[in-house]
Every structure is written in structure tokens, then in C-alpha cells.
Amino acid sequence: MQIHLKTLGCRLNEAELENWAQGFQQAGHTICRDSHQADCIILNSCAVTQEAVRKSRQLIRRIHRDNPEAKLVVSGCYVSLNEEEAAQLLGVDLIVSNKDKNQLVDIVLNQLNIAAMPQLATEPGETALFTRGRQRAFVKVQDGCRYRCTFCIVTVARGEEKSRPLSEIIEEINRLHAQGIQEVILTGVHLGGFGSDINSDLSALIKTILAETDIPRLRLGSLEPWELPETFFDLFSNARLMPHLHLPLQSGTDSVLRRMARRCKTAEFQHIVTQARRAIPFFNITTDIIVGFPGETEQEWQQSLEFIEQIGFGHIHIFTYSARQGTKAATLPDPVPNTIKKQRSQRLHQSAEKMKQDFMQQNLDQTWTVLWEGQREMLDNGQQRIFGYTPNYLRVACDIDLNETIENQIIPATLVSTEKDYCLTSLQLS
């Protein structure tokens, strides 16, 4: 069987997709990039915003329209929150809720009567990641969240916290590395809560991975800032732990953070950023910001913008607030008019772009080890432009001859100039 995998939303969805891909391959099936060739299509849906819900519905309809003969399986937060609605969408053959995600491969094979072919499962071949064009892997280490930020529907969709056993995570990372993967990204709904249910913690997990695997690059996914211990940044003395963190701030003023039920004040956030940059030069901090949260006054907005610019982020994911049914925030008074939300969003986008360019400029003349990827562009001069990422998560590019390949290699490069979204480099070939 030809299996095609699609996802919307977070890195956790990506990690789950990778696990499913491995599972289908072990059962003897093939992962294909082209959905038109697929016998079965798996969609991991999203519901983090109302727009994500709309996109999930839209994608389900398009998948069925483009390949009506394929079996269509939908999982993820959208169908977990709206199961009856999703089941009525044309073309949906099977729904697998979040609580059953870990058994998705077995459920699909059994309920859709897709026979496994174990005699093929042990044959060597490309990993699912390389089939999908990846050199890094997302590894899911936990699910669920104990906190209830007032804007978040994901905690409702994902349920209580559940951590994977350390031995299982180590086994998966070692298997991925043996298959040629050079970098893994640890992900979870509440990554900082790893171990709360198994007498462990995130620091212990990182130390164990660095001690019991040889994966060249270890990166952390989105991490809530309030659970980082004072000694956390000592871990980054190991060069295999990448000096980049995505720490969602959401607002730069404490009064709005209280209405969001966030557990980190601006002063505490600033202390964390100072620790990171003091420990590792050119440490990259990226973040999420919600614009136009209910009750956000002009004064609060100006305070927030000033704080965000004071911190200086390498990149900002900007979300214009929209009411999400089922969350406490949807019941809060004094909604911000759409025109004002749009103005504030545009202003923050301008500031975020300047901060991004400033950070790239700061990194010029620095030499970093870069994991080079499969993405490429053909140039008019007969060369090809290859892309990759520095340890501190700057997107970079280099120009090489058409007959050369550096894909999935870690090669030092010096950053020499900036483009709009990346830095150009010169390779440091031995």
C-alpha cells in the first residue's frame, strides 16, 4: 500500500507523523510524497485557532476531491473536539482521536483491512523521514498539559500529561541516528512538564540523551518559560545541544499575562533570556505573541511592544486573537475591535522583521556547523543554492556546483551576507 501523510499545526503533530510513518514502513507499506498516488491518506489535524479548524475542514475536502479513491483517515485536535462534524465530511473513512493516536497504525491496518506484509518490513531502505525529504526528526516525548491558559483549546483536546519512558525515547533516537538522521527535536504539548508523572524532568532527559546516544544535534521544541531551573543553561555547555529556544511570551505586559493565566511575568522572562545569552553567545530566542487579547488597552499594547523590542527576538510567531469556543478567554469582556487588532499586528510584524534582520546581522562573520538539507534552488550561473540551519536556528544558504552534494552533511560555514529570510555563507571545506 502507498501511504501519504499530511499534517497541520505544531511540531508535536510532525513528531506523531514520523512515528506513524515508521510504523507503516515496519508493516511493509510505502510512504509516498504524492497524495495522488496514495491508497491511504492520513491527516493529522489542528484546532489551535478557529482558522486552523477552517483549514482542517478545507484540507479534508481537498484531499478527497483530489484522490477520491484513497482511504482517508483523520486524527488530531480538530476531530477530537469535533468528531461528529468531521465524521460527516465527505470522504472521511476513519477518525482516530488523540487518545488513540499511539495505536493509529494498528487501528488503520485493522479497521480498513489493510494487510501487513512483514516479509518486506525488514528489508533495508530509506527511512520515512528521507522519503518525505527530511534530515531531522521530531521526537514526541510527552503529551497533554496540566495548565489552563485561558486562550488555549489544545489542553482540552490533548488531555492530561503523559510522559514517555526514557528508555523508549533513547531507543527511538538511536534508531533514527542509525538510519542517518543527524538532528532530533524533542516535542510535547508541555515539553517542560516532561517527567512530572514518571519521577523525572526535562533536564534529566536531556542529560540521558547526551550520554546514551551519539546523535550529533539535539534541539528542543517550544518550551514554556516558567519551569526552567536556574542550572538549565549549564546543559548548553555540551555543543550537541543546540543554542536556540522557542519560549512563548504571548504578551509583554503583566496585566494581560494575568488575564491569559500565564505563569511567567515579564521580569522573570527577561531573567531567563539574560541567563541564556550570558551562558552562550548568539543564543537565539524566538517566541509567540498574541495581539488583541480581550481587554488589551492602548497603554497595555504600547507597554507590550516596548518590552518585546527591548528583549529582541530572532523570530516571532504573531497570532491575532480570535475567540475560541470552549476557552475561558472567549467569555472575557471588552473584545478588541478587528481594525485595531489588524493595526497592532501590522506594527508588530514590522518590528519583528527588524529584530530578525538585526539578529542575522549580529551573526555575520561567525562560523557555524551547518546541517545542510535537501532543499535547493537552481541559479542562473549554472550553480545550485543549498539551504540548511545553524545550531542557533538561522536559515542559511551556500552556492555549489550542480554535480556536488552536501545533503545531510554537517559542514562548517561562515556567514557573509544577508538576504530577506536567510544568510549566505562560504563553506569551510577541508
| 295, 355: one domain | yes
Q: In residues, how long is the chain?
A: 430
| 233, 329: one domain | no
pLDDT at 21 exceeding the cut of 90: no
| 90, 199: one domain | no
Last residue of a domain, one of 72, 95, 121: 121
Residues 214-260 pLDDT 10s: 999 999 999 999 889 889 999 999 999 999 999 999 999 999 999 99
Would you call 105 exposed, middle or buried from its count of C-beta atoms within 10 A (0-12, 13-18, 19+)? buried
Q: How many domains does the chain have?
A: 4
Torsion angle (degrees, nearest 10) of CA 185, 188, 194, 197? -140
Q: Which domain holds residue 218?
A: 135-242
Q: What CA–CA distance (Å, rounded) separates 153 from 82? A: 12
127 found inside a domain: no
Residues 42-71 pLDDT 10s: 999 988 888 888 899 999 999 989 998 899
11 found inside a domain: yes
**Helix or strand or coil: residue 207?**
helix
| 200, 237: one domain | yes
Instruction: Tell me the CATH number at 312.
Output: 3.30.750.200
- The gap from C-alpha 101 to its chain's centroid, in whole angstroms, comes to 18
What type of residue sits at position 424?
L
Please answer whether residues 337 and 345 qualify as being in contact, where contact means their C-beta atoms are separated by less than 8 angstroms.
no
Last residue of a domain, one of 227, 242, 257: 242
Instruction: Tell me the CATH number at 65.
Output: 3.40.50.12160
What type of residue sits at position 290?
I
Name the residue with cell 525488514: 122
Q: What CA–CA distance (Å, rounded) separates 323 from 345? A: 16
Q: What CA–CA distance (Å, rounded) separates 287 from 269? A: 11
Last residue of a domain, one of 221, 242, 263: 242
| 280, 350: one domain | yes
| 140, 115: one domain | no
| 309, 410: one domain | no
The reported pTM is 0.79
Region 76-95: what's the mean pLDDT? 86
pLDDT of residue 142: 92
| 238, 265: one domain | no
| 213, 280: one domain | no
| 339, 376: one domain | no
Would you call 170 exposed, middle or buried from its count of C-beta atoms within 10 A (0-12, 13-18, 19+)? middle
| 107, 41: one domain | yes
Phi and psi at 380, nearest 5°, equal: -65, -25
pLDDT of residue 133: 54
| 355, 371: one domain | no
128 found inside a domain: no
111 found inside a domain: yes
405 found inside a domain: yes
130 found inside a domain: no
Would you call 376 exposed, middle or buried from its count of C-beta atoms within 10 A (0-12, 13-18, 19+)? middle
